[in-house]
Chains A and B, each alone.
Chain A
Amino acid sequence: MERITITKKATEVLEILKEKHGTLIFHQSGGCCDGSAPMIFEKEDMYLDESDVLLGTLNDVNFYMNRDQFEYWKHTHLTVDITEGRGASFSLEIPLGLRFFIHSRLLSAEEETFFNSKQMH
């Protein structure tokens, strides 16, 4: 069972970026402008610690979210997708004229029990 998954189209972009930049991570952003969307960086670029929750791994790319934000998101299942667009953040897909974004749905009863009845690390 997974909290997060990725579409085939987004995976193809992910592979192009891995080829070019090496080991990557996703970090879900909050706030204005280009926020509320996932950003992708070289692994060493972002300082991660216990305030970041690992939601899952998509084709060897870890997906993190700040713990405070996760508290408001943990009842939902996420799918990373890609669309044409032009973000203004430092996310690595932007020069391709593309932006990752998120589809969400509620966790099923079974998923809810599996993920949220125990402490997430």
Chain B
Amino acid sequence: MNYSKPKFKDKYENFINGKFIAPLDGQYFENTSPIDSSYIAKYPRSQKEDVELALDAANAAKESWGNTSATERATLLNKVADIIEANLEEFALVETCDNGKPIRETLNADVPLSVDHWRYFAACIRSEEGSATELDQHTLSMNIKEPLGVIGQIIPWNFPLLMLSWKLPPALVTGNCVVLKPAEQTPSSATLLMEKIAEVFPPGVVNVVHGFGPEAGKPLASSSKVDKVAFTGETTTGQLIMQYASKNLNPVTMELGGKSPNIFFNSVMDEDDAYLDKAIEGAVLFAFNQGEVCTCPSRILVQEDIYDAFMERVVARTNAIIQDNPYDASTMVGAQASNDQYQKIQSYFKIGIDEGAKVLTGGEANQLSGDLSKGFYIKPTILEGHNKMRVFQEEIFGPVACVTKFKDEAEAIEIANDTLYGLGAGVWTRDAHQLYQIPRAIKAGRVWVNCYHAYPAHAPFGGYKKSGFGRENHVMMLNYYRQTKNMLISYDKNKLGFF
């Protein structure tokens, strides 16, 4: 089944204090679709004053929202999940239009996963308990978790609704109010969600402010009216946000990307069976979501004795990828999210080839016809080289994998860890010892073992090294959005006797 571009209004507004409000100085920016560069709609080009308005609304709401029961908050999260689920196709179409990713993915991954994250955190808060310890027969130490207050969240454009659904539910369910800034490349699904859930939360609990990073993102990240900032993006902005947080002595969480190794040991080719087929697909997953994934398995490491045979099949599978109109249900790889990404990826092809990398497939833009000729399509690409090349060290954020060989376990681990980052990694082997030992030796927060690119709620996700800190998708997140009130209670009627 094939779809087409969804309908939009001409203009959208910020969502502040339960209402859609125009930016104070009346400026908007034009949002376009990377599928064909066509116009989508105008979104507010907010300034500091708009962010302040949202922060004031959030601060005014935090006292009463923080005092609602966990039952009430969980019920509202479940309501949001039901609303997204009931409108799955509408959300999927808007997401595909805004981001350029295939409708196959938004229908089956982005939107259903988003629904599940709302439900997961609703369940978490209902099943947890506080703690109390009797320190001696007269003294009780009781720990009560209290919300931080107001959270600033800045989310990226690669999975707009899903990243929102990773960040909003744990903050809201713990009793915080949120001001969220979507990425300016992809403001649409956050806006659609606010339209659908406008009545769900009390005014001021959820606020969405659109605009550009330096004009709206920075005032949000640096405001003394926020109690915490959560950010997904890149290292320089990560450093800036931490600087601003240091001025306010605020906590932050950071998810800053990676250059994830995907390691294939020779036992994967012991049989030509379903498992080998899965492993080949596992290598080709670098092209998933046009490579615009923080954990893109962008370094393929293959043991030397199976290298030629394995890569022949990986290249053949890559060449079978259908890259076409993202609204077609058969399309597997769509458009890059913006022109600057499209240009950046091509500049990496140049330096890769300059450094001596060999193009095994792809290595250029894909000129599609008709309206799509104005879109940003890059052919799924495999470059062969060595780990010191810049294409092996930098996050290209395109459908580009770099492949190299290794001799033995020690060399595989050495190459895997020779990177500034440590977000994800993949290990593929039939050897039971390697299945445990190799993941333990890799310095990354998530190691997929005989699988890749699964992001279920209930499995913590986050980085080592320059990939950031903090974990998402897991019950442990509740405490990232709370502080501990310790009540130390004496049940002793007798005085100390000091004075």
Q: Does the CB pair A29–B235 fall under 8 Å? A: yes
- Pick from B48-56, B197-205, B238-246, B434-442 the stretch touching chain A: B238-246
Q: Identify the closest chain A residue to B241 (Cβ).
A: A90
Interface of A is mostly: mixed
With A86-B185, A95-B214 in contact, do A33 and B354 touch (Cβ < 8 Å)?
A: no
Contact of A32 among B156, B240, B340, B393 (CB under 8 A): B156
Contact of A36 among B214, B221, B243, B395 (CB under 8 A): B395
Interface residues of A in 51-96 (CB under 8 A from B): 66, 68-69, 72-73, 76, 83-92, 94-95
Nearest CB on A from B189, distance (A):
15
Distance, CA A46 to CA B257, complexed state (A): 21
Distance, CA A101 to CA B170, complexed state (A): 35
Q: Does the CB pair A103–B350 fall under 8 Å? A: yes
With A86-B340, A103-B350, A105-B351 in contact, do A35 and B397 touch (Cβ < 8 Å)?
A: yes
Q: Does the CB pair A31–B235 fall under 8 Å? A: yes
Q: Does the CB pair A104–B233 fall under 8 Å? A: no
Q: Does the CB pair B234–A34 fall under 8 Å? A: yes
With A31-B258, A103-B350 in contact, do A90 and B237 touch (Cβ < 8 Å)?
A: yes
Q: Does the CB pair A88–B341 fall under 8 Å? A: no
Distance, CA A10 to CA B339, complexed state (A): 16
Residues of A within 8 A of B79 (CB): none
Q: How many residues of A contact B (CB 8 A)?
A: 41
Nearest CB on A from B256, distance (A):
4
Q: Does the CB pair B157–A83 fall under 8 Å? A: no
The reply to whether the CB of B466 lies closer than 8 angstroms to some CB of chain A is yes
Q: Does the CB pair B395–A30 fall under 8 Å? A: yes
Distance, CA A73 to CA B388, complexed state (A): 9
Distance, CA A106 to CA B388, complexed state (A): 13
Listed residue (A28, A33, A90) with the most chain B CB atoms within 10 angstroms of its CB: A33
Q: Does the CB pair A33–B347 fall under 8 Å? A: no
Q: Does the CB pair B343–A33 fall under 8 Å? A: no
Q: Does the CB pair B184–A86 fall under 8 Å? A: yes
Q: Does the CB pair B258–A29 fall under 8 Å? A: no
The reply to whether the CB of B355 lies closer than 8 angstroms to some CB of chain A is yes
Q: Does the CB pair A32–B256 fall under 8 Å? A: yes
Q: Identify the closest chain B residue to A83 (Cβ).
A: B343
Distance, CA A94 to CA B217, complexed state (A): 12
The reply to whether the CB of B213 lies closer than 8 angstroms to some CB of chain A is yes
Q: Does the CB pair A94–B420 fall under 8 Å? A: no
* 6 tightest Cβ-Cβ pairs between the two chains A and B: A32-B257, A85-B340, A35-B234, A31-B257, A29-B236, A99-B340
